Chain A
Amino acid sequence: GAGVSQSPSNKVTEKGKDVELRCDPISGHTALYWYRQRLGQGLEFLIYFQGNSAPDKSGLPSDRFSAERTGESVSTLTIQRTQQEDSAVYLCASSLGSARNNEQFFGPGTRLTVL
């Protein structure tokens, strides 16, 4: 498809388990972002990848959160030892990275529920 895709669309897990969320950006987009959206709240920036540069991890809430990206393609966000407060929709976005307005295109998100 032409848009950003994410999988799974829904994930229910038990407290303490690890989860892995996947994002496929738009082909040719060098920049990739992860955001978290808690119920009834705005988006919180988590991490940003741009080409081969070191990622900006300034938004990761704890060391239980990590993300990887292979080149300019797929990214995975991993949450270890999940807690109930990790329940949220995790959104991925990609952009050309060079456009002046840095338009970000969002995927549909993964809804994570930690029981």
Chain B
Amino acid sequence: GEDVEQSLFLSVREGDSSVINCTYTDSSSTYLYWYKQEPGAGLQLLTYIFSNMDMKQDQRLTVLLNKKDKHLSLRIADTQTGDSAIYFCAEMVGGGNKLTFGTGTQLKVEL
């Protein structure tokens, strides 16, 4: 079945690195995504990784995928106050047409 879990809350200091974790249960996931949701706004796709990759780096963002443990993480380097938001991981299974989302992790960046 499809189930995606995340911790609910993360607090970091400005300039530190943030690591947001996600676990999923469906081993047939093809793509895994990280979305950002700011207050009152829709979801914005940050990055995605194909399931045959272990790592993807995009500027301050690093995505790590451990397929064996079904674990996905998002690392944000040099976290800024503008990074404060809710971060959702999501998986797409097979050639599927829908995404299964986690519950979201609220990132709070303190000065």
CB distance from B14 to the nearest CB of A (A): 25
Q: Is the CB of A43 within 8 A of B42?
A: no
Instruction: Tally the A-B contacts, defined by beta carbons under 8 Å.
Output: 52
Q: Is the CB of A56 within 8 A of B98?
A: yes
Q: Is the CB of B97 within 8 A of A43?
A: no
Whole-angstrom CA separation of A61 from B3 in the bound complex: 18
Instruction: Name the B residues within 8 Å of A48 (CB-CB).
Output: 97-98
CB distance from A45 to the nearest CB of B (A): 4
Instruction: Name the B residues within 8 Å of A70 (CB-CB).
Output: none
Q: Is the CB of A42 within 8 A of B101?
A: yes
Are A45 and B45 also in contact (CB < 8 A) when A101-B31, A108-B40 are? no
CB nearest neighbor in A for B4? A42
Checking A43, A102, A106, A109 against B44 with a beta-carbon cut-off of 8 angstroms, the contacting residue is: A106
Q: Is the CB of A42 within 8 A of B103?
A: yes
Q: Is the CB of A45 within 8 A of B103?
A: no
Q: Is the CB of B103 within 8 A of A41?
A: yes
CB distance from A112 to the nearest CB of B (A): 15
Q: Is the CB of A45 within 8 A of B42?
A: no
Check A83 for interface membership: any CB of B closer than 8 A: no
Q: Is the CB of A59 within 8 A of B98?
A: yes
Checking A42, A101, A109 against B102 with a beta-carbon cut-off of 8 angstroms, the contacting residue is: A42
Q: Is the CB of B97 within 8 A of A42?
A: no
Whole-angstrom CA separation of A93 from B31 in the bound complex: 17
Are A103 and B48 also in contact (CB < 8 A) when A91-B42, A91-B43 are? yes
Q: Is the CB of B97 within 8 A of A107?
A: no
Q: Is the CB of B42 within 8 A of A107?
A: yes
CB distance from B109 to the nearest CB of A (A): 20
Whole-angstrom CA separation of A11 from B101 in the bound complex: 24
Please indicate which of the listed interface residues B42, B44, B88 has the most CB atoms of chain A within 10 Å of its own CB.
Answer: B42
